[in-house]
Amino acid sequence: MEALQIGVCSWSLKMPDIGDALVAVKNELGLNLVQIGFWDEAFKQTDRIIKLIERTGIEVSATCIGFEGEDYSSIQRIAETGGFKPNNEWPQRLAKTKAFADFTAALNVKMLACHIGFVPHDKGDSMYAVMVDRLKQVCDVLAHRDLTLVMETGQERAENLLEFIDAVERDNIRINFDPANMILYGVGDPLQAVDILKDKIVHCHMKDATWSKEPTRTWGEEVVLGTGQANIPKLIAKLRSHGYTGPLVIEREAGDQRIADIKTAISLLERTVG
């Protein structure tokens, strides 16, 4: 990858077939970098996906895993159902993560991203130790395949996220920084968060949002890149000041004009990166 190379999340195109999405990334958007994500079992078509990637010549910055049963209808519901937190879902989700790690390694990709699930802010909460132990297991699974887990920002304040990473005590856990998620969840200023997380950031989503009137209780609103409160130009400047040279991957998860919105984002990033 080139320094600060612009890419896009495959799911942002809202195309059910990964082959159609890759062609659109190359031909309609003119990009050569993609993050590939799956929330179902389609990733098990590994040979087909490898051939599609080779055919388009697109580079994959990272993979991204999601789980059936995750409910984003409210902040409260995703807190209950997201990532590795639900006790009843933990064995199945760990098994899927192992299979997805094999898929990621087969693509010769080094980073696997996910929302790990809400970590309690209170380290005295019994679930905190449970989450630390579960993330140690996930990191060990990935380490055996020479992969790094990149946790996505959003649910935790930057200070809490950094403390949690330290508690996990694994060298292969880093951060996928998503400025909009911090606004959507209402947990902190993205610019300040970059100063706190800095060298832990290895992958970035370029997404924008506006704050909710009730932060942490109701969702903010995702908007077209450059029209929200994430202050993307200043954010990129701050990332650069901390030595970040990783990808800038556009994520658009709202609206019904995905291609047009992503093109707007590309233009903004090209002007900003130079």
Q: Widest CA span of the chain, in angstroms?
A: 52
Residue 35, both tokens: 């993050």
Which CATH number goes with the domain that contains 261?
3.20.20.150
Strand 59-65 versus strand 111-114 pairing type: parallel
35 touches 10 (CB < 8 A): yes
In a domain, residue 1? The reply is: no
> Can you give the pLDDT at residue 154?
82
At 261, list the tokens: 């919105």
- Of residues 263, 249, 258, 267, the one with CA closest to residue 207: 249
For residue 34, is it within any domain? yes
Full domain range(s) for residue 19: 6-273
Average of per-residue pLDDT across 159-187: 97
Q: Quick: pLDDT tens for 88-133.
A: 999 999 999 999 999 999 999 999 999 999 999 889 999 999 999 9
Secondary structure tally for the chain: helices H, strands E? 10, 10
Q: How many whole angstroms from its chain centre is CA 118?
A: 15
Q: pLDDT (tens digit, 9 = 90+) per residue, 194-250?
A: 999 999 999 999 999 999 999 999 999 999 999 999 999 999 999 999 999 999 999
Nearest to 209 by CA among 253, 151, 177: 253
Residue 60 lies in a domain: yes
Residues 203 and 62: beta-carbon distance below 8 Å? yes
Residue 25: strand, helix, or coil = helix
DSSP label at residue 122: -
pTM here is 0.96
How many independent structural domains does the chain possess?
1
Q: How far is CA 146 from CA 10, 34, 252, in A?
A: 23, 20, 29
Is 57 inside a domain boundary? yes
